[in-house]
Copies of this chain bind each other. A is one copy, B any other.
Amino acid sequence: MTIKIIVAGPRGKMGSETIRMLQHEDTLQLVACIDRKNDGKTLKDVNGQPALNVPIYENPLECFQQHADADVLIDLTVPDAGYVHTKTALENHIRPVVGTSGFTNDQISALSKLSTETKTGCIIAPNFAVGAVLMMQFAKMAAKFFPDVEIIEKHHDQKLDAPSGSAIKTAQLIKGTRKKKQQGHPNEEETIKGSRGANVDDMRIHSVRLPGLIAHQEVIFGGAGQTLTIKHDSISRDSFMDGIKFAVQQVMKLDKLIYGLENVLDME
């Protein structure tokens, strides 16, 4: 069975990558795009897009009504537009797969209610890299048994913020399962400031920035006589495409909203 797909945000980095991916998948078919410009054109008329005869709509409702047989909306826009797209899709029984961490709790509640009422599956995920999601879940589990943990994240030297969002997210997840502990020797001393890294709830995060790196993180747990390390290395946006494909397949089986890719990954 072919799954009919509408992509919102076709000109962004993730959107254009998604359109490229869909062209290589036999069971996934791109039927329309939602864009904040180019209304009435087709993809092949738009500079930088592939030569596809796929219609573009600025108005999401019009798009969903013209393509009432579409199965899934993949939304890769910004939170404001994304919220409207998701709401409208649910009202039209088209299942949204949304890549954002920008929705408010109230917005998620409202969409969840609507998803249940319309019996229309919906997946909202801040991160589509399955490997990164698994790393965080495994770290959360391991922290129950190993309260001593440090995180090293490594990125290219054009990154502005340290620590990375993923490292902070990982530390927060760990905090939920780890028995609170002040790590290191109680009398340890930094002879040069910063050497022991960022202190998050007495865990330490270290941020490396070098040319030649892309996006890497390792979570190291230490216990008597042993260490356990969980490491994710990401070298391209391709890593997100597998997660989007997976979410599209899963959303077809849902009749409610699920937040976070980890909650559709059946690990047992």
| Distance, CA A268 to CA B158, complexed state (A) | 31
Taken residue by residue from 198 to 228, chain A's Cβ proximity to chain B (1 for < 8 Å, 0 otherwise) reads as 1110001111111111100000111111111
Q: Is the CB of B211 within 8 A of A200?
A: no
A225 cross-chain contacts in B, Cβ below 8 A: 212, 234-242
| Distance, CA A238 to CA B161, complexed state (A) | 25
Give the bracket for the number of chain A residues in contact with chain B.
35 or more
The closest CB in chain B to the CB of A228 belongs to B131
Interface assignment of A79: CB less than 8 Å from any CB of chain B: no
Q: How far is the CB of A173 from chain B (nearest CB, A)?
A: 13
Copies of this chain held together in the complex:
4
The closest CB in chain B to the CB of A210 belongs to B222
Q: How far is the CB of A170 from chain B (nearest CB, A)?
A: 13
| Distance, CA A259 to CA B33, complexed state (A) | 54
Q: Is the CB of A162 within 8 A of B189?
A: yes
Interface assignment of A260: CB less than 8 Å from any CB of chain B: no
Q: How far is the CB of A89 from chain B (nearest CB, A)?
A: 26
| 18 further interface pairs, Cβ-Cβ under 8 Å (given A144-B267, A212-B222) | A132-B226, A138-B141, A148-B157, A149-B210, A154-B220, A157-B185, A162-B188, A190-B198, A194-B195, A208-B220, A211-B224, A213-B227, A223-B242, A224-B242, A228-B231, A229-B231, A229-B233, A230-B230
Taken residue by residue from 176 to 191, chain A's Cβ proximity to chain B (1 for < 8 Å, 0 otherwise) reads as 0000000111011111
Q: Report 19 cross-chain contacts, Cβ distance below 8 Å, ordered by A residue.
A: A130-B226, A131-B221, A138-B141, A141-B268, A152-B206, A157-B185, A162-B190, A162-B195, A163-B191, A192-B199, A197-B207, A204-B209, A206-B208, A211-B223, A224-B238, A225-B242, A226-B233, A227-B232, A228-B230
Interface assignment of A150: CB less than 8 Å from any CB of chain B: yes
The closest CB in chain B to the CB of A139 belongs to B138
Interface assignment of A142: CB less than 8 Å from any CB of chain B: yes
The closest CB in chain B to the CB of A133 belongs to B145
| Distance, CA A226 to CA B235, complexed state (A) | 6
Interface assignment of A1: CB less than 8 Å from any CB of chain B: no
Q: How far is the CB of A228 from chain B (nearest CB, A)?
A: 4
| Distance, CA A149 to CA B154, complexed state (A) | 12
A210 cross-chain contacts in B, Cβ below 8 A: 148-150, 183, 220-222, 227
| Distance, CA A221 to CA B132, complexed state (A) | 12
Q: Is the CB of B145 within 8 A of A226?
A: no
